[in-house]
């Protein structure tokens, strides 16, 4: 009975946190246990209810008072930009204090932009994010869109940069017209590719022209207060004067020990054991990015689910972290060969 009560408590808390997938997973876990005990009818009923719960949840997502979906980009824009409405929030992220402070300031300015305009001031609208892979740059753009309830437009830079003279600039023109007319978060991921040699031969002059037309477009008035987010792994490749063209330059890094603990605990959710043996677990996380740690925690949770366990213990975490590290090393070897 105590176990049933524990399960009910865990289920209700995950429902209250709005974590649909976790709730569904819990019901399916109980269904599996029932099936193993030979109670097939109850197992079947639970599976059906889990399915209904999932369907009801996705309908609710559609009905939420979120932004009204706008028409997808059409014509030539459709191949340059993709659109989505992310549900991500900054609270789901583990961020350095300074990064979080800057992002919250941008959100506040965006939310209260009418007040700023009354005093002739503009909200921050141009962000440059730099940092190693998996540190949360793309997720930040999604979370900003989620917080502001705006669509996230991801610009496909490989499609924007053309080998034909002048075509890149006309692509950029189309995108910046959209930025002016349709308020949203516009993500230029791998922004360094814009000014670098990409399908345009080794024409340094052309690369410079592309970057400078981009910067010019960015200076234009943007009466919709769209947010332009540029992300790069290689801030050092960018012109040193570049960060000054943005309202905020935000540097991301690998998580320190405190951030790693927070990330692991947050991501484990109700699969978190009562006690994590941090002294044993932490050494296996050093040098791993947020993204890699999250993936390892996910692996540990999946193992726990398949082993019919209600928590992922420190040993499961270490095993998953070691596996991640070795696949990372394999990738490095492939990259070198």
Ligand X SMILES: Nc1ncnc2c1ncn2[C@@H]1O[C@H](COP(=O)(O)OP(=O)(O)OP(=O)(O)O)[C@@H](O)[C@H]1O
Question: Which residues lie near Mg ion (CB under 5 A)?
Answer: 137-138
- Told to check if 318 binds ligand X by CB under 6 A, we report no
Strands (DSSP E) contained in 184-252 are 185-188, 227-232, 248-251
102 touches ligand X (CB under 6 A): no
Closest to ligand X by CB, 82 or 224:
82
Least CB distance to ligand X at residue 13 (A) = 21
Does residue 94 bind ligand X (CB under 6 A)?
A: yes
Distance between CA atoms of 226 and 224, rounded to whole angstroms? 5
Choosing among Mg ion, ligand X, none, which partner's interface includes residue 233 (Cβ < 5 to 8 Å by kind)?
A: ligand X
CB of 196 to ligand X, least distance (A): 15
Q: Which stretch binds ligand X (CB under 6 A): 9-17, 134-142, 148-156, 219-227?
A: 134-142
Nearer to ligand X, 192 or 316 (CB): 192
Q: Which residues contact 288 (CB under 8 A, 6 or more apart)?
A: 254, 296, 321, 324, 325, 328
Residue 77 is given by DSSP the state: G
Question: Which listed range, 10-18, 102-110, 136-144, 311-319, lies at the site for ligand X (CB under 6 A)?
Answer: 136-144
Binding mask 145-164 for ligand X (x = CB under 6 A): --------------------
Question: For ligand X, which stretch binds (CB under 6 A), given 71-79, 93-101, 271-279, 323-331?
Answer: 93-101
Residue 138 within binding range of ligand X, rule CB under 6 A: yes
Residue with smaller CB distance to Mg ion, 22 or 232: 232
Q: What is the smallest separation between the CB atom of 162 and Mg ion, expressed in angstroms?
A: 23
Beta partners for residue 155, in sequence order: 81, 188
297 lines the binding site for ligand X (CB under 6 A): no
Cβ atoms of 37 and 66 within 8 Å: the answer is no
23: left (phi over 0), alpha (psi -120 to 50) or beta: alpha
E-strand spans in the chain?
81-84, 126-130, 152-155, 185-188, 227-232, 248-251
Tokens encoding 39: 């109670």
Nearest residue by C-beta to ligand X? Answer: 136
Q: How far is the CB of 124 from ligand X (least distance, A)?
A: 20
Least distance (Å) between residue 266 CB and ligand X:
7
Contact 263, 276 (CB under 8 A): no
Instruction: Select the span of 56-64, 117-125, 220-228, 289-297 touching ligand X (CB under 6 A).
Output: 289-297
Q: Are 228 and 179 in contact (CB under 8 A)?
A: yes
CB 187, CB 153: distance < 8 Å: yes
How far is 155 from 187, CA to CA, in rounded Å?
6
The binding site for ligand X (CB under 6 A) comprises 93-95, 131, 133-139, 233, 263, 290-291, 294
């Amino acid at each position: 009975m105590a176990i049933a009560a524990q399960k009910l408590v865990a289920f209700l808390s995950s429902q209250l946190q709005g974590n649909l997938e976790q709730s569904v997973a819990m019901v399916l876990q109980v269904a599996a246990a029932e099936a193993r005990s030979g109670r097939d009818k109850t197992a079947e009923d639970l599976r059906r209810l889990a399915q209904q719960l999932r369907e009801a949840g996705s309908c609710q997502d559609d009905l939420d008072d979120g932004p009204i979906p706008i028409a997808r980009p059409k014509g030539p824009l459709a191949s340059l930009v993709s659109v989505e409405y992310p549900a991500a929030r900054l609270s789901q992220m583990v961020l350095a204090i300074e990064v979080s402070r800057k992002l919250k300031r941008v959100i506040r300015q965006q939310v209260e932009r009418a007040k700023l305009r009354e005093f002739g001031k503009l909200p921050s609208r141009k962000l440059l994010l730099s940092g190693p892979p998996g540190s949360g740059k793309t997720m930040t753009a999604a979370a900003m869109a989620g917080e502001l309830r705006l669509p996230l437009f991801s610009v496909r830079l490989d499609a924007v940069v053309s080998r034909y003279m002048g075509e890149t600039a006309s692509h950029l023109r189309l995108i910046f017209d959209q930025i002016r007319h349709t308020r949203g978060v516009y993500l230029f991921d791998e922004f360094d590719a814009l000014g670098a040699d990409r399908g345009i031969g080794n024409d340094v002059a052309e690369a410079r022209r592309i970057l400078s037309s981009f910067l010019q477009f960015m200076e234009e008035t943007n009466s919709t207060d769209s947010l332009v987010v540029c992300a790069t792994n290689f801030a050092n490749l960018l012109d040193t004067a570049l960060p000054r063209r943005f309202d905020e330059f935000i540097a991301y890094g690998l998580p320190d020990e405190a951030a790693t603990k927070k990330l692991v605990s947050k991501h484990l959710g109700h699969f978190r054991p009562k006690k994590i043996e941090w002294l044993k677990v932490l050494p296996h996380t050093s040098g791993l990015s947020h993204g890699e740690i999250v993936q390892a925690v996910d692996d540990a949770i999946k193992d726990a689910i398949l082993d019919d366990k209600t928590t992922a213990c420190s040993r499961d975490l270490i095993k998953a972290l070691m596996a991640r590290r070795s696949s990372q090393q394999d990738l490095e070897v492939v990259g070198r060969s």
